Each structure stands twice: as C-alpha cells, then as structure tokens.
Amino acid sequence: MALNNISVLVFSLSYMLSFSILASLSLADTGSSSIVPPETICGSTLDPAYCKTVLGNKNGNIFDYGRISFQKSLSQARKFLNLVDSYLQINSSLSQYTIGALEDCRFLAEQSQEYLSTIYATANQANAVLPTSQAEDFETYLSAVLTNQQTCLDGLPSSASDARVKNDLSSSLSDDSKLHSVTLALFLKGWVPEKKIVTSWPQNGRHLDFKNGRLPLIMSDRVRGIYDSARHHGRKLLAKPDKTDQSVVVNDIVVVSQDGSGNFTTINDAIDAAPNNTAADAGYFLIFINEGVYQEYVSIAKTKKYLMLIGEGINRTIITGNHSVGDNFTTFNSATVAVVAQGFVAVNITFRNTAGPSKGQAVALRSGADMSTFYSCSFEGYQDTLYTHSLRQFYRECDIYGTIDYIFGNAAVVLQNCNIYSRLPLGGQFNTITAQGRTDPNQNTGTSIQNATIKAADDLASNVGTVQTYLGRPWKNYSRTVFMQSFMDSLINSAGWHEWSGDFALSTLYYAEYNNTGPGSDTTNRVTWSGYHVINATDAANFTVSNFIGGDNWIPQTGVPYLSGLM
C-alpha cells in the first residue's frame, strides 16, 4: 500500500456502527413506505448535508429516495468512464505509469457501471425488501463500487508532469464516492431484509469428487487419470465423499503440460479455450495444470465464469512473475495472476511474485472474483502478496508468505485453516500481516482469519528478536480485520497491531481477536485504541463463513472442505 494522505472524515463509532451503520440507526421509527422529508432519511447517512443535496426538497419514502440516488450514481459512473476515456485518447503525452493507472481506472469504472445498472434495474421496480440472497449480492456489488473508486484513486500518478490527470480524476472520484456511499446506505435501509446471525453449525467435511455424466464418453479415461493423479498429490484433493452422492459437476476438462503431452502448453491458452459466461449449474471448465514452473501473467476475465484450475500441488505447479511498483506497474496491475470471473476455483497451485523486498508492492495473486475459492494453494511474495480486492472470497488450507501488508484489499473474505508466514523484510522495516481497506462503514467487507497458524518463515526465524511483526494496520478509515481461533507464535509483537499514520482510523477501524492461542496471542498488552476489541463467541459468529460471506450458499458446489461456523 502507498500511504493514503487524502484527508477523510474521522469520527468515533461504536462496534455496532462499525458492523453496519444502518443496523443501529432508525429513521425516526418511520416505516419504509412512510412519506418523510429528506433530512429524516439523510440523518442516517455518513454525510447528511451532502445527502440532502442529492435527494432535493421533495418528500418521499425510502424507495423514492433510493431510486433518486441510484439514478444519479449510475449517471455519474457513466460520466466518470467517459472522463477516463478522454484522457486515454491523449495518451501520447502521458507517462507509461499514468497510462497504466488510467487503464486500471477504466476497467474498474466499467465494472462499477455494470454493477449499478444491474441493481438499478431491480430496485427501480421494487417497493419492498428483496429476497435475502439477491439483497446480499447487491450489497456486495455496491460495496465493490466504492472499492473500485478507491482503487482507481490510489493508483493515480504522483508525478508533477501528470498532475492534471490526478487533480481532475481525484475531484470526480471524491464526489462520486460520496454519492455511492449515500446509495449504499439507502439501499440497505430500503431493500435489504434484517440479517439473522446463526450461532451454531455442523462441520462440513466434503472433498472434491467429479460427476462426469455430462462428459463425452471419450473423456472418461482422462477423467479417471486426472482423478488418480490428483488424488495421490497435494492434500488428497479428490478424496471421495464419505457415504454421500455429493459431487462436483464438470462440463469439460483440458490439460496443460509444458512438454506438449496435454491439450495446451500454456495456462493462458487453456483459459482462452474456456467457454464464456457459463451458468453455475452447467458445471466447471476444469484446467488441470501439470507440474512445472509457468512464467506467465495470467488474467482471468469476467466472462470466464466457473473456471477451475487444479495443479499437482504446492511447489509442484507454480505460476510466477516479477512485476512490481518498483518497476513502474500499479499495485493493481502488478499481479502475477489476476482473476475477476465469478465462481473461480484454484487448487494445489503456487502463485508467486519474485520481485523481492526492494521493489515495493508486488502482488502474487489479485482476486476481484465474486464467490472465488482457493484450496491448498500457496501465495509467495514480500510486500502486498495476496490482494483480496473485492467481493466474496474463501481460502482454505493455503500458505501465505510476505512482509508488509501481505494480505490486503477490501473483499469480504474468510481465510480458514491457513498457514501465514512472515518473511525477513529490508533493514529497518517491520512486518504487518494485514492491511484491510474498508472506506465506508456500510460496506459488508473485511478480513476474517480463522484457525490459522501464524509463524516466522525460515528466513525470519533467526531474526524474530530484531524484526517486529504485527497482525495488521489500518490502510483505510474503516479497516476491519478479525483473528479468531488461531495459533500465534512468538513473532507477534505484544501490542498486536500497528498504526498507519498517527491517529488515522484508530477510532473508526474494527480490529478484533477471539480465542487465539500461542505465545503471541496474549492480549494483556494490546493496543488501547477504541476500535480494538477482544470479542466473545456471539460477536465472533458475525465473521464466520456462514454469516460473513454466505459461504453455505456457494462453497459446497466447489467440493472444497470448509467449516461454516466456529470450531
């Protein structure tokens, strides 16, 4: 992360407010269909004065006001996309970095416009709460719109030669973010049903299996061969479910092998061959990647839905690159592998960025893929290794290596049963495991780390006494991170958490710990920030797979084992 010097509104909020500002504020006890003045509605938003300018002076109900805000958000998203395009058309006068930043902004703006269009088409016709699953989807998309705005802003150039680009886009982004914040707040108040937190769950012990009835008969031997190969490598990926008929549906399988024995020799060629916009119930396009080191930059576009990549195991199937901010890439575009396709699954693969600690931000994997799942994978880098950018994500039994902010982003993400290894940073640096980027208290985002093992990597192990390692620091104003039921070794500093810059976000963040173990888990000398909490099981339940990312609705189809709730 680059230090965010942009001034923000800072005010103290309670824990309930940090979970959702609208969960604890009422509209003067009025019903959603009641006609009220706009100032009544705006009283429950972050910036009531700005909200009033959005809604105007006519009285209405929450749905009337929400539609006004949606319409304006969509209009502004289109205008911003046009503004970015106008600068890209004169790119001959811009630096290469600025062109890259503008291309990032264009990608993100186009995505945001699509989200807003989808939601507006439904909300414009609905005068009641939506079905829970649809409401959660839309809340996730609106949260991502704000994340996209901030990501574009963070990547803008700081050079004097391209100052006009930054000034123009920063001004627009600031105004638009306030508007989208109002839209999110009104959507939650009008269209989202009250969320019910479940506090007890059974363990889910499924593992991958293939239901190949939809495959051509000629594929059956290959399926069996892949089954046998994968079963004997890694972590028993394809172990059959115990006395159940549950299975993972696969509609096609291709093999990538560098020696030419498969269907493709590169991962990108295999991805290009995948069908576009596959429906969830049509089954995965499975790409089996044979052992090897693949020096490729892989980008999995939004059209490649329900794609499953399976390797032969951590440190056997490796995808590697070395792009970094130090070599003039944006953080967003430094990723060795970037995925935005819904329903993506990766298993038994190492994702690596070899730029090293001196090159600054250098991402191994960036996911902005909704309902994406990573199982038995390894993410290796230094600063900014794993970019959990946006939407809903799940990581299970993965290894994550890094130094500074090496799990960062603004997704709603649960990392379960993972190994987290801090590496040796440059001289004079300290390690921070997380840097969560929530910018609005109504976003349903945050990082939940459950049943992890947190230790020093081999290169740090002999230097633990001289290098300080912290659980996280607040990248953005409403940063939210929870560690629960995890083992923390002695490398964790007794304060637990580190500030970003002075008192920035210390009262508005939400950092929590629950029932952790190990020498680094003692909370006696933890930070005393008002945003830091030692929580109980009831509060911790908010951050489980079932409640935080709605994982019971989408993880089962992947076949990846998971725990719905607390251990």
> Can you tell me which residue has the tokens 């987290």?
420
CA 80 to CA 305: how far, in whole Å? 27
Give the residue from 164, 261, 283 showing the smallest Cα distance to 213.
Answer: 283
Under 8 Å between Cβ of 479 and 509: yes
Hey, how many other C-beta atoms are within 10 angstroms of the C-beta on 356? 15
**Sign of the dihedral through C-alpha 366, 284, 225, 204:** positive
SS3 letters across 363-417? CCEEECCCCEEEECCEEECCECCEEECCCEEEEECCEEEECEEEEEECCEEEEEC
> Can you tell me which residue has the tokens 């490796």?
318
The radius of gyration of the chain's CA atoms, rounded to the nearest angstrom, is: 23
Q: Is 82 exposed, middle or buried (0-12, 13-18, 19+ CB in 10 A)?
A: exposed
CA 516 to CA 453: how far, in whole Å? 10
CA 455 to chain CA centroid, nearest Å: 23
Our answer to whether residue 405 is catalytic in this structure is yes
Under DSSP, the state recorded for 49 is H
Across the beta sheet with 337-339, the strand order is 298-300, 337-339, 365-367, 386-388, 404-409, 431-436, 469-472
**Both structure tokens of 549:** 């990312």
Q: Which runs of consecutive H residues, i.e. helices, occur in 56-211?
A: 62-88, 96-123, 132-155, 163-191
Under 8 Å between Cβ of 249 and 211: yes
CA 385 to CA 405: how far, in whole Å? 8
What does the CA dihedral 467, 472, 476, 478 come to, rounded to 10 degrees?
A: -150
How many Cα atoms sit within 13 Å of 425 on the Cβ side? Answer: 23
CA 350 to chain CA centroid, nearest Å: 19
Give the residue from 485, 476, 539 showing the smallest Cα distance to 151.
Answer: 476
Q: Which residues contact 313 (CB under 8 A, 6 or more apart)?
A: 233, 234, 235, 291, 348, 376
Give the residue from 498, 450, 448, 444 showing the smallest Cα distance to 474.
Answer: 498
Which region, left, alpha or beta, applies to residue 537 given φ > 0 means left and ψ of -120 to 50 means alpha? Answer: alpha
Helix or strand run (H / E) with residue 157: none
**Both structure tokens of 174:** 């600031």
Q: 81 phi and psi, to 5 degrees?
A: -60, -40
User: Catalytic one among 405, 440, 489, 552?
Assistant: 405
Helix or strand run (H / E) with residue 446: strand 446-450
Catalogue the active-site residues: 405
